[in-house]
Amino acid sequence: MDFEKRLEQAIQRGQQKGSAQRDQQRQQSLSAEELRNRHNDFRLDLSDYIETHLKKMASHFPGFEFETIYGSRGWGGAIYRNDITRGSDGRAGSFFSRIEMTVRPQNEYNVVNIAGKGTIRDKELFNWNHFVDLPEANKEDFHAKIDAWIMQFAEQFASRP
């Protein structure tokens, strides 16, 4: 077989493969309404999970207060506290600690996105962001990520003088 015929066959095989892949992607892709419903399901589950687990952590550190977060920034919660201490020079000081986690609103990229910030004694130590495409998103993976962030904050907070 000459080069031209082999080239034409290779092009035809490539076109058939591309067509088959596009068909498969269309079947797997979700409609806009299905994506919106899936994101809402994740938002409700993850924001409840965040609230429950932040409150559990706060119960181990007296003085933390819980705050619900909702709106354009996302849905979730935060715990925070102000500590007033005296330095070796006798002067009073105030230190702020906070951990915040939110599920971001759905956007044009169709991802589930959780964000978190951790500040301990006026120093921002963490600024997290984790996202996964909606069709591939898994709640258990997000729960594990949230747990890891809370554990990391708790460990850092407990180690501070």
Span 120-161, pLDDT tens digits: 999 999 999 999 998 889 999 999 999 999 999 999 999 987
The pair of structure tokens assigned to 31 is: 């409609």
Contacts of 93 (CB under 8 A, 6+ apart): 84, 85, 86, 87
Q: Give the residue carrying structure tokens 């407990």.
A: 158
* The two structure tokens encoding residue 114: 């959780």
Phi, psi angle pair for 8, to nearest 5°:
-60, -40
Amino acid identity at 93: G
Which tens digits make up the pLDDT trace of 92-105? 678 899 999 999 99
Whether 10 shows a pLDDT value over 70: the answer reads yes
User: Cα separation of 86 and 38, whole Å?
Assistant: 50
Which stretch of 4-8, 82-86, 88-92 has the lowest confidence by average pLDDT? 88-92
